[in-house]
Amino acid sequence: MATPGARIAIIGGGPGGLYTAALLKRRDPDRRVTLWERTTPDRTFGFGVVLSDETLGGIEHADPAVHEALQRNFTRWDDIEIIHRNTRRTSGGHGFAALGRKRLLEILHTRCHALGVDLRPHTEAPPVQRLAETHDLVVAADGVHSTTREAYADTFRPRVTTHRCRYIWLAADFAFDAFRFEIAETEHGVMQLHGYPFAADASTVIVEMREEVWRAAGFDEATPQESVERCAKIFADALGGRPLRSNNSAWTAFRTVVNERWSHGNVVLLGDAAHTAHFSIGSGTKLAVEDALALTACLEEHPDLRSALTAYENERKPVVASTQRAALASLEWFENLALYVDQPPRRFAFNLLTRSRRVTHDNLRLRDPDFTAAVEWEFGCPPGTPPMFTPFRLRGLTLRNRVVVSPMDLYSAADGIPGDLHLVHLGARALGGAALVMTEMVCVSPEGRITPGCAGLYTGRQGEAWRRITDFVHERAPGTAIGVQLGHSGRKGSTRLMWEGMDEPLPDGNWPLVAASPLPYKPGSQTPRELSRAQLTDLREQFVAAAGRAARAGFDLLELHCAHGYLLSGFLSPLTNRRTDAYGGSPARRLRFPLEVFDAVRAVWPEERPMTVRISATDWADGGTTAEDAVEIARAFAAHGADAIDVSTGQVVAEEAPEYGRSYQTPFADRIRHEARIPVIAVGAISSWDDVNSLLLAGRADLCALARPHLYDPHWTLHAAAEQGYDGPGTLWPAPYRAGSRPPRTGRTDAPKPRLTLGS
């Protein structure tokens, strides 16, 4: 924004607002930058602020004077300590830098004064509409309770989510020697302490617990001083019997702020006004400072304000979204802390350290190899064996590693008969090293197909064709198991091939559909008939007949498909089951028919061969299946003899709103594993062997199923072994392929330069 003498208004005197003011004034001394702040540094909330090396690097490039002042005031440490059940586990190599929030604001105030920023403390900013009329740019850094955001809510379209824990910011007058997490299991429930030093003689102490624990412990009725004293007593060991102090601290619930847009005309949001991320990943100040750097750079790089603000938003939103996903994973981990307290000490510590998915098995091994090796030993990894290459037993089947090729519909069968593409697809992935290769959903009747190209097991010819494939896998990829997934399309049937229009009805040749209730999948879809009691019996027998053919075809494992809105899933979800008979209504009644099918199939499936069940653990829609419901569904199938639950989500209703992201479905598997006490198969955007190792070692999954990575690379598991330097019984290269067991040499590549370099 090259407007001579541009007038810039900044609302909010936190780190984000002050640093933005300093940067903008430094880049162009002719700018008239005015900042309104309602308070002063000595009345700030909170105590310590943690900044990453990445953020500090950006500050150093943009303003060496601020960077030097910060460096002189930092407290640095490397270790994280986790204290649980009187056991201390320490992990090193993490690298933290912190200073007092009050000192940070003093540094930024000094810099703003030196640069000529017009600071107006103890002063409420004029209404944002008036500022927008009298200034070229208005930066709203007015925090989580932003009045600017509310004034233009129709444009910004904020979503504010209040979470389940209560927490309070306190301080101790001594320095912890590490980032400390301490768990207290009280008569009222689990509480946790997050503590870290921010000066030679001071530490931040955050005490957090679930809302119901907070109330049961009487904190909702305690005075502020009583809360401080009781927290000090609960965590007396961590504090060495020393007191805690407050700075007008109050119990609060964390609120995640997401805005669909960040700018409106010449008004732009920054920091907590635009977004928040849970304090357990220490990101609030970091994100605000990075916003300031990006906004200043974009104003430099673009010829007009509109394009600059668009560029700022386009640059920062993906970064913030990624951070918020990590923060949400961390937040939910602490919300559900009670699930993990019975884990072995090292696994508990590893689980805590990797909770956000940003710290992983591989980079933790680089940071602290001794700690990671100890966790691997406790898990049962033989020396030199990554977690993913340890065996796992399901009933009479021992899988040589923890990798599953997830079911992938090929839509390429003729009259339900799998052909050469199925042989090549499944055979190639069996040769690729995974322990278990799953078929696509194999349909139990012609009317149960999704598309005309779906494979089946409702005729003898189909069974013979599948036998050809299982024989290939067993003969050419010894040690690899192959499983069949049985299902019925329900209301999602009679549609086009995926690449011709997913979920779109056939232009002609449609067959009638049946479902739990007569509800079309989406507008324009065929309306199914509600199944009668007699038809339910017929359908159950179709599953039984298909299971018998699957056993004779040589499959090692059978999975019952009760997910993704297909027929059995349609009974489970309250959004798709509106029946008023014995098969609808309460959760137990909605479970009745899927359990009847499971029992009938289990009765004919060979006793030594395992059966799993795939479920949708959430419908991603209001009024649908919840995570709590999923636990009960899993418990029910476990009680009927399921050997594992394959935990997927969604695809039940067309109006779903999934929260996509890396490993986004794994928390549902984690919860089912710990609450229902049954092995789980985790799925959903698990994209790297590092993810697999991390999930297994943390105890969030027993097996990991991957689809797209195996489309990209049929030998994904073998390559994962090669890249980790593993050559053991957990995966074996087929004899004709052994010459390719080492990655080929590649040319040199240079790392990209830092994105933001504003210069001096």
Q: What DSSP element (H or E) covers 478?
A: none
> Of 636, 716, 81, 140, nearest to 432 (Cα)?
716
Contacts of 594 (CB under 8 A, 6+ apart): 560, 562, 568, 571, 572
Q: Which residues pair with 137 in a beta bridge?
A: 8
* Phi and psi at residue 160, to the nearest 5°: -120, 120
Contacts of 552 (CB under 8 A, 6+ apart): 463, 467
CB 715 within 8 A of CB 413: no
Strands of 158-172's sheet in order across: 87-91, 80-84, 179-186, 189-199, 202-210, 158-172, 252-259
User: Would you give the distance in Å from CA 588 to the centre of its chain?
Assistant: 30
Residue 463 sits at the vertex; the CA angle it makes with 461 and 468, to the nearest 5 degrees, is 95
Residue 404 sits at the vertex; the CA angle it makes with 402 and 406, to the nearest 5 degrees, is 155
For residue 507, how many other CB atoms are within 10 A of its CB? 9
Sort 359 into a burial class: Cβ within 10 Å, 0-12 / 13-18 / 19+: buried
> Of 588, 547, 556, nearest to 571 (Cα)?
588
Q: 307-336 as b/e, with b when 16 or more CB fall inside 10 Å?
A: ebbebbbebbbeebeebbbbbbbbbbbbbb
CA distance 403 to 642: 19
Which pair of tokens denotes residue 23? 């940067």
Sort 420 into a burial class: Cβ within 10 Å, 0-12 / 13-18 / 19+: exposed
Whether 737 sits among the annotated catalytic residues: the reply is no
Residue 318 sits at the vertex; the CA angle it makes with 314 and 321, to the nearest 5 degrees, is 135
CA distance 523 to 521: 7
Report CA dihedral (314, 317, 318, 322) to the nearest 10 degrees.
170
CA distance 234 to 217: 11
Sort 423 into a burial class: Cβ within 10 Å, 0-12 / 13-18 / 19+: middle
CA distance 208 to 331: 11
Task: Write down the catalytic residue from 566, 583, 660, 664.
Answer: 566
83 to each of 194, 237, 278, 748, how far by Cα in Å? 11, 10, 21, 44
> Of 374, 382, 384, nearest to 346 (Cα)?
374
CA distance 456 to 546: 8
* Phi and psi at residue 648, to the nearest 5°: -110, -175
Contacts of 628 (CB under 8 A, 6+ apart): none
Helix intervals (H) in 164-271: 211-216, 224-234, 236-239
CA distance 637 to 617: 13
For residue 541, how many other CB atoms are within 10 A of its CB? 13
Catalytic residue IDs? 566
